[in-house]
Structure 1
């Protein structure tokens, strides 16, 4: 881990008092798969590519150009400003090579560089960055090691007052998991553990032992093993007294509501991966509400029994987070970026709202749009 360089709600859910809903003391967690950090850095930091050429998409949006580098150099800070400086922003798919501290420093500098003369660099408008980058020498070799990777941004005042630690996990060597553990305080209920996820994409490509390099299965097998590790991590945190929030690119469309024009079912391994995910993270009630793809589950197998907050609050609404850049907007898309929470967090009425920022403008240079959740925060 690279340390700071710098259908209806569930019946048992309690409602947050009306006065709390008016001005909630809350934590907002945003998550965005940015599909590579280069487009978010100043042009002097990275090579000029075709991205900087003027382009017009099917929706008429003109992309950034050399004449307007601010379209990329301050894109992340612009995003943070536009959404009123959220406490936490999870980034996935940084595509930064292990040990590339120069690029990490450039990213942090861009994030904390003023947009204009009115943009003050106070603690409630600047961020720390923690990055987890791939270090698996056998399974993270493509593109010269510039693949995968997650970054966790925490607003400085929030980090100073509420964050106990940010850590990686020993079962992930591909730069896919970062965990923010908030402070445990007497009289404030369960603390939060916020998990930033870039889940494995299942493919028939070989997966090699990280220790020996020997082929031990496929990326489909590795995906299901990743589900198991993540489930166990969530359960371990809950057993330690945390309410868990998982946010990121889970690389799974849970069911028929989550794919357009169709849900990907061929080859059949995709359906098996989907059923495996739904069985390990959600109970019968949530899977029914999500019209999720499931198979008969071994009742002895552990399950997080979490809540997919978008489905819990928005029912069967069809909204998507992945929008292919090779197809017209809205013609080929999936909801694969998810936010799930511990059931107790939901039942205690601590989930205030959630949403998907599904527009070409919010997608920016990526092929994913951001998602967000607002939670009742620490007292």
Structure 2
């Protein structure tokens, strides 16, 4: 597991066409995801105290800052960066404008640096999204403008969620690329707290119940998109670790609802092949409970089809331990889970050329999650079209 960040390589100045070719291969789409646990640090003046120890906190050019442009540059200008838990009040348009400005190319940028646009989905639910001055939940999809101009058809929320948890980017079919539906998702964290009807405010179960309902609604959304000819890319904080290999030192199995939620997500969304576990890991006594929970849930609505998405990281690294959630207040790596994922339709499995996460205190920054990525590669049939990929 990485513990530090290497100094960035020295770069000669490139023409715009050279830069596009080198940092973004013409036949690939790179997608990043990051639960930032609040966007405010990224909209303030440069901050380095979050990153690394105090003796390395000075801005020496090698230490990441809480800057979205710096993040995009450091990771070679990806086509898409999906942020979750941005925590912007729906009554605060000034912060939304500051976020849009933070990703734009300004007068100080190098000539070859691309421009980006930011699109947000914020909560409108006044009964379930009231905490911290309504600064809860919320997602932001950051799109490189040349990619958007060539491929993006529309960007929309979903009509079954009012908590600002989902934003869908639909692309056009272009050259060798299928139509994509890229879903930025911040899934519900199941708890025993009450979930209220967003229209009436009356209690309608617990957050655990709502989590299962969101699973059902999202699975239906994915099936509908695939029926309309889209290949689905589900990106974000899933709030579930799939298997023992995805939790350190142990997979969460208490309370029992965690097992139920995990089994339900597995049944509805994942390719039939079970996630891998390391050979020297002890068997989990809760596996039987999870299978029983899955069978019980399936009996309630067994007409629902599994979306059969592919877990990009686990598909490419079947036995590798890697984690995305590193809680603050604990030594980095002392307790961690892989709860953030990038899942793709089976149709895209052959196009998957890379997936991973950046597991360092520096890349975690002010958040309690580290960023993750997946890379899709397509046949380069049309040089003119693919030059902006």
Q: Same fold (TM over 0.5)?
A: yes
**One of 202, 221, 245 as aligned partner of 1:214:** 202
Match of 2:355 in 1: 354
Indicate conservation of the 8 Å contact 1:87/1:158, yes or no: yes
Tell me the distance in 2 between the aligned counterparts of 1:284 and 1:153.
Answer: 32
Indicate the residue corresponding to 2:346 in structure 1: 343
State which of 156, 159, 169 in structure 2 corresponds to 1:167.
Answer: 156
Which of 107, 110, 135 lines up with 1:120 in the alignment?
110
What is the aligned partner in structure 1 of residue 335 from structure 2?
332
Residue pair 1:254, 1:290 contacting (<8 A) in 2 also: no
Identify the residue that residue 199 of structure 1 maps to in structure 2. Answer: 187
2:78 matches 1:77 = no
2:176 corresponds in structure 1 to 188
| CA apart distance, 1:71 | 6.6
Is residue 177–residue 196 contact of structure 1 (8 Å, CA) maintained in 2? yes
Kindly indicate whether residue 146 of structure 2 is the aligned counterpart of residue 154 of structure 1. Answer: no
What is the CA-CA distance between 1:55 and the residue it aligns to?
Answer: 6.9
Residue number in structure 1 paired with 2:27:
25
Alignment of 1:1-379 (within 5 A): 25-43=27-45, 54=49, 62=56, 72=65, 75-112=67-104, 114=106, 117=108, 119-120=109-110, 125-185=114-174, 188=176, 190-285=178-273, 287-289=274-276, 294=291, 295-296=294-295, 297-298=298-299, 300-346=303-349, 349-377=350-378, 379=382
1:177-234 CA deviation, whole Å, 9 max, x = no partner?
A: 001100134x635211111000000000000000100001000000011111111111
Structure 2 distance, partners of 1:34, 1:324, is 12
TM-score, scaled relative to structure 2: 0.81
SS of residue in 2 equivalent to 1:323: coil
Structure-2 separation of matches of 1:95 and 1:146: 4
Change (3 A) 1:228 1:40: same
SS in 2 for 1:148: coil
Does structure 2 retain, via aligned residues, the 8 Å contact 1:139–1:208? Answer: yes
TM-score by length of 1: 0.83
Counterpart position of 2:13: none
Q: CA separation of 1:332/1:35 partners in 2, compared to 1, >3 Å: closer, same or farther? A: same
Partner SS state of residue 284, structure 1: coil
Q: Secondary structure at the match of 2:101?
A: helix
Alignment gaps of 5+ in structure 1: 1-21, 45-51
Distance 1:120 1:305, change over 3 A: same
Residues matched between the structures, number: 340
Confirm or deny: 8 A CA contact 1:166 1:180 kept in the other structure: yes
Listed one character per residue, the Cα deviations across residues 259-305 of structure 1 (whole Å, up to 9, x for unaligned) are 111111111111100101000001321x2446985433445332101
Q: CA deviation at 1:99?
A: 3.2
CA shift in 2, pair 1:54/1:169, >3 Å: closer
The CA RMSD measured in Å over matched residues stands at 2.7
Gaps of 5+ in 2: 1-23, 279-286, 383-389
CA distance in 2: counterparts of 1:43 and 1:352, whole angstroms: 36
